[in-house]
Amino acid sequence: MKIALAQLNYYIGDFEGNLTRILDAVHQATEKESDLVVFSELSICGYPPLDLLEREDFTATCNRYVEKLAESIGKEIGVLIGGPEFNTGKEGKLLFNSVFFLQGGKIQQVFRKTLLPTYDIFDEYRYFEPNHEFNILEFKGKRLAVTICEDLWDEQPFESEFSRSRLYTTNPLEELNRFKPDMIINLAASPFSHRKLDLKQSIFTNKAARYGLPVLYCNQVGAHTELIFEGGSLAINNNGEVVRRLDFFQEDFDVIDLEMLVDGKPVSSKGEIPDRIEMIADALVCGIRDYFGKMNFKRATLGLSGGIDSAVTLVLAAQALGPENMHVLLLPSQYSSDHSIDDSVLLAQNLGVRYSILPIEKVFNQFRETLQPLFGNLPEDIAEENIQARIRSTLLMALSNKFENILLNTSNKSETAVGYGTLYGDMSGGLSVLGDVYKTDVYSLAQYFNRDGKVIPNNIITKPPSAELRPGQKDTDSLPPYDVLDRILEDYIEKQLQPEKVAALGFDLELVRRIIGMVDQNEYKRYQSPPILRISSKAFGVGRRLPLVAKY
């Protein structure tokens, strides 16, 4: 049996566009004499459709397009396609998360998702009823266990210390194994997380080895707002070895012969999982490219400060959109160093990006003069620092409004976590590129971009980080060194450790409490920040939901 994996980049709610992509892949699979073509989870509408699923007309349209697709499928090939399905029973949620098997012009069989994740960015039980009935696909002499994403993740533990050994009480594959399948097929929409790629792969390889069955895993690729899907679909033999891996962060297609996935056949993978920093870079480029492409935006801007964050953001954006679609502003104040301007100009020239220099000192002095009757002779403090950040934001948004250049936010996760940023100032933007990237990884990204030559001027990488909002200011005036700060933040945010347990890992308890206090006190700022491209298991935004007003 020959099975095609169609790893596609869908657009949520673009039924005609999605159908065209799907039919193109079916045609390609037919030309290659495939018996079956497999798509990803909820592929007919794109994942995740969120509360669009609460609209009856949306699911009805999904069903209509599944039927339209079915009418195009002859007897020579079968199709496994994901989509929502109405629950016709009298009890339970209104929908199932389903996979439809199409052949001979109609829907021949339906498979439903059993395990509905309700952690991190997932909230599937909000919409779907879990499956309780198990069946197998008998096709061309083979018995196929069809599963949907989380149905193979039943042994997944939570990342926090406060967890059970298993997340679920039901094991769908154990139920399906009673039918004595010949292989496992998994249709997925599994978003990228830079520290989970090995774990994700091990889930599929362990299942294959445990049950002695080949596994085919078809994942969605591309980005939807903050979520980025890496693709990386897999063909795994019955020994638990990766035989084929589709490309990361781009559409791909491959035909797998079931004979390749049995004992004694050579392993011919496309290589190991790339370096973590390389994967983060590719994910962020994908996130920017798809956000702009799917929103029909063409051009972008940002404030190029001479610092590492804006430099890395510019490199990513230039790769995603093309340097000809970037117009950046240099907005020096009287506190900006000459090398910050020179470094920014050199970076823009290295990338071939258009730039303009608009000094803000005159505007800042006008603000001071206007506010003098109110402020009197009070010493300058954070109020004046924030005015400078907001002046810059106003100028950037003026460029955005006049020429339709979408403003990219350049704040990193370390600063966003502790509130080291100005609301309506440097926290402004239509999309946050680095909001889920810790500062230490921002430096690693800069080194990665310079691996073949000096794209980012060395001085930007080596100089002490500073907001340059007052004379001699450095980030370390307010924060511990970033290598210390980031380890504390990751233990608290990603691993959800309490202060005493973070300190036990080698940190001063009072410092830990101060940092955690800053994280908790600045939730209100993050609540008003732009969508953040997610690359971790605990990005700020939809995947980390905390009360805005709370004492704990």
Residue-by-residue DSSP string for 402-435: HH-EEEEE---HHHHHHT-S-TTTTT--SEESST
Cα torsion at 524, 528, 533, 536 (round to 10°)? 10
Q: Indicate which residue of 2, 41, 218, 294 is catalytic.
A: 41
| Residue 41 phi, psi (nearest 5) | -65, 135
Please say whether the beta carbons of 511 and 259 come within 8 A: no
Closest CA to 129 of 89, 72, 177: 89
Report the percent of the chain where pLDDT is more than 70.
Answer: 95
Q: Is residue 8 classed as helix, strand or coil in its secondary structure?
A: coil
**411 C-beta neighbours (distance < 10 Å), count:** 28
Close Cβ partners of 349 (under 8 Å, ≥ 6 residues apart)? none
Q: Indicate which residue of 2, 62, 113, 150 is catalytic.
A: 113
Check residue 474 and give its pLDDT: 74
Check residue 375 and give its pLDDT: 96
Cα separation, 87 vs 68, in Å, equals: 20
Closest CA to 481 of 506, 460, 464: 464
Quickly tell me which residue has 């011919």 as its tokens. Answer: 268
Closest CA to 252 of 233, 229, 224, 271: 233
Query: Strand 354-357 and strand 327-330: pairing?
Result: parallel
CA distances from 8 to 21, 59, 250 (A): 8, 21, 8
Longest dimension (CA), the chain: 87
Q: Catalytic site residue 149?
A: yes
β-partners of residue 256 are 3
Tokens of 339: 């090398």
Close Cβ partners of 46 (under 8 Å, ≥ 6 residues apart)? 10, 11, 12, 13, 14, 18, 224
Q: Catalytic site residue 265?
A: no
Please name the fold of domain 2-273: Nitrilase/N-carbamoyl-D-aminoacid amidohydrolase (3.60.110)
Q: Indicate which residue of 45, 62, 149, 218 is catalytic.
A: 149
Q: Is residue 349 classed as helix, strand or coil in its secondary structure?
A: helix
Cα separation, 525 vs 514, in Å, equals: 18
Query: Strand 299-301 and strand 405-409: pairing?
Result: parallel
Check residue 544 and give its pLDDT: 86
Close Cβ partners of 86 (under 8 Å, ≥ 6 residues apart)? 59, 63, 94, 95, 96
Please say whether the beta carbons of 30 and 23 come within 8 A: no
Check residue 268 and give its pLDDT: 60
Whether 280-475+523-527 and 2-273 are alike in CATH topology: the answer is: no
Q: How would you class 268 by CB atoms within 10 Å of its CB: exposed for 0-12, middle for 13-18, buried for 19 or more?
A: exposed
CA distances from 292 to 88, 122, 223, 286 (A): 39, 24, 10, 10
Cα separation, 125 vs 97, in Å, equals: 10
Residue-by-residue DSSP string for 85-105: EE--SSSS-SEEEEEEEEETT
Domain ranges within the chain, ordered by starting residue: 2-273, 280-475+523-527
Q: Which CATH superfamily is domain 280-475+523-527 in?
A: HUPs (3.40.50.620)
Close Cβ partners of 79 (under 8 Å, ≥ 6 residues apart)? 26, 36, 37, 39, 69, 70, 73, 100, 101, 102, 103
Closest CA to 220 of 127, 318, 358, 82: 82
One pLDDT digit (tens) per residue for the chain, 552 residues: 999 999 999 999 999 999 999 999 999 999 999 999 999 999 999 999 999 999 999 999 999 999 999 999 999 999 999 999 999 998 999 999 999 999 999 999 999 999 999 988 899 999 999 999 999 999 999 999 999 999 998 876 555 555 555 677 789 999 999 999 999 999 999 999 999 999 999 999 999 999 999 999 999 999 999 999 999 999 999 999 999 999 999 999 999 999 889 876 666 656 688 999 999 999 999 999 999 999 999 999 999 999 999 999 999 999 999 999 999 999 998 887 778 899 999 999 999 999 999 999 999 999 999 999 999 999 999 999 999 999 999 999 999 999 999 999 999 999 999 999 999 999 999 999 999 999 999 999 999 999 988 899 999 999 887 766 667 777 777 789 999 999 999 999 999 999 999 999 999 999 999 999 999 999 999 999 999 999 999 999 888 888 888 877
415-455: pLDDT as tens digits: 999 999 999 999 999 999 999 999 999 999 999 999 988 89
Q: Helices 308-321 and 338-351, interaxial angle, to 10°? A: 20
Per-residue buried b or exposed e for 372-388, using 16+ beta carbons within 10 Å of the residue's own CB: eeeeeeeeeeeebbbbb
